[in-house]
């Protein structure tokens, strides 16, 4: 039994005839380049084919509209494109499509927030700033919190974000940032005195852990905490980048403009 016409119409309609990953129009110069990919393969030997499924494998719920290139990528890399990830990509894409028509003004507000944030935060460099943790960190990482808090004061109407998926990603990102930065900017109790965890910035703009003034056990504990918080932050940061790239192509992630006096 093949895919029924009602299922095909629903899939193409809710996806607006575009690849759920790259947003490419699946009709190129009157040539149909779209493919209805199975999230769980039709046969057990296919990609993700051994996963359990309640509905018919040819049902809308088990299909995702993709371009030919991404269909190949999804099926050749099932360890990355898991059932859960594909359902999430599909849901986010369909929500983005709906937002253009159901709440265009809300989408405009979200885009304004993102553009302002990217303009004043060196967003594409954040992984680089944290690369040498737990030993050192670039002071520019703090622009994330500074600009976020300034935005809440200057443009309180733009946050929380209207797109629930975008808000979830951004919340995890900003929460991960604060958990990491609170350790970097925090203090450790050493024999009744409060010792800063990191030094003041050097002439290159780097803060270094105050290993000279912290006992070995304290340094070890800080290292462990920083490794965990850094991993969580980078994971949330990467997920936010992927989401924005897929769903908010109007936003230039590299639009940062250094403040000039």
- Each residue of 225-240: pLDDT tens digit? 999 999 999 999 999 9
Q: What percentage of residues in the chain have a pLDDT greater than 90?
A: 87
Q: Are residues 108 and 93 located together in one domain of the fold?
A: no
Final residue of a domain: which of 102, 133, 165?
102
Q: Are residues 89 and 119 located together in one domain of the fold?
A: no
Whether 62 and 7 have beta carbons less than 8 Å apart is answered as: no
Q: How confident is the model at residue 261 (pLDDT cuts 50, 70, 90)?
A: low
Between CA 152 and CA 170 the distance in angstroms is: 14
Domain span at 194: 104-247
Q: Are residues 111 and 220 located together in one domain of the fold?
A: yes
Closest CA to 239 of 145, 169, 161, 171: 169
Residue 256 counted as domain residue = no
Residues 6+ apart with CB under 8 A from 146: none
Residue 255 counted as domain residue = no
Final residue of a domain: which of 67, 102, 137?
102
Q: Are residues 25 and 91 located together in one domain of the fold?
A: yes
**CA of 79: how far to CAs of 38, 82, 232, in Å?**
15, 6, 20
Q: Are residues 54 and 134 located together in one domain of the fold?
A: no
Question: Looking at residues 218-223, what average pLDDT do you find?
Answer: 96
Q: What is the pTM of this model?
A: 0.82
Residue 257 counted as domain residue = no
* For residue 1, pLDDT beyond 90: no
Overall domain count for the chain: 2
Q: Are residues 233 and 116 located together in one domain of the fold?
A: yes
Q: Are residues 136 and 243 located together in one domain of the fold?
A: yes
Q: Are residues 228 and 137 located together in one domain of the fold?
A: yes
Q: Are residues 115 and 94 located together in one domain of the fold?
A: no
Strand partners, 195: 188
* For residue 260, pLDDT beyond 70: no
- Give the model's pLDDT for residue 28: 81
* For residue 134, pLDDT beyond 90: yes
Q: How confident is the model at residue 250 (pLDDT cuts 50, 70, 90)?
A: very high
Q: Are residues 116 and 63 located together in one domain of the fold?
A: no
Final residue of a domain: which of 51, 76, 102?
102
Q: Token pair of 215, please?
A: 């006992």
Which residue has tokens 């990953």? 21
Question: Looking at residues 17-33, what average pLDDT do you find?
Answer: 90
């Amino acid at each position: 039994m093949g895919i029924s016409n009602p299922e095909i119409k629903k899939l193409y309609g809710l996806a607006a005839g575009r690849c759920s990953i790259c947003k490419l129009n699946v009709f190129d110069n009157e040539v149909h380049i779209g493919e209805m990919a199975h999230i769980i393969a039709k046969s057990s030997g296919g990609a993700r084919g051994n996963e359990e499924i309640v509905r018919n494998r040819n049902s809308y719920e088990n299909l995702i509209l993709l371009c030919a290139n991404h269909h190949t990528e999804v099926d050749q890399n099932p360890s990355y494109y898991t059932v859960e990830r594909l359902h999430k990509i599909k849901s986010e894409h369909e929500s983005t499509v709906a937002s253009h028509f159901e709440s265009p003004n809300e989408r405009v507000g979200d885009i304004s927030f993102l553009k302002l944030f990217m303009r004043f935060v060196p967003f594409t460099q954040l992984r680089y700033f944290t690369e040498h943790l737990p030993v050192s960190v670039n002071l520019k990482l703090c622009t994330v919190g500074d600009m976020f808090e300034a935005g809440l004061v200057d443009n309180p109407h733009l946050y929380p974000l209207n797109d629930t998926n975008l808000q979830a990603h951004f919340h995890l990102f900003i929460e991960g940032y604060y958990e990491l930065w609170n350790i970097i900017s925090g203090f450790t109790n050493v024999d009744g005195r409060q010792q800063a965890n990191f030094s003041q910035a050097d002439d290159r703009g780097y803060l270094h852990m105050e290993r000279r003034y912290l006992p070995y056990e304290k340094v070890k504990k800080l290292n462990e905490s920083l490794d965990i918080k850094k991993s969580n932050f980078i994971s949330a940061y990467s997920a936010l980048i992927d989401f924005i790239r897929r769903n908010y192509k109007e936003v230039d992630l590299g639009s940062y403009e250094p403040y000039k006096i």
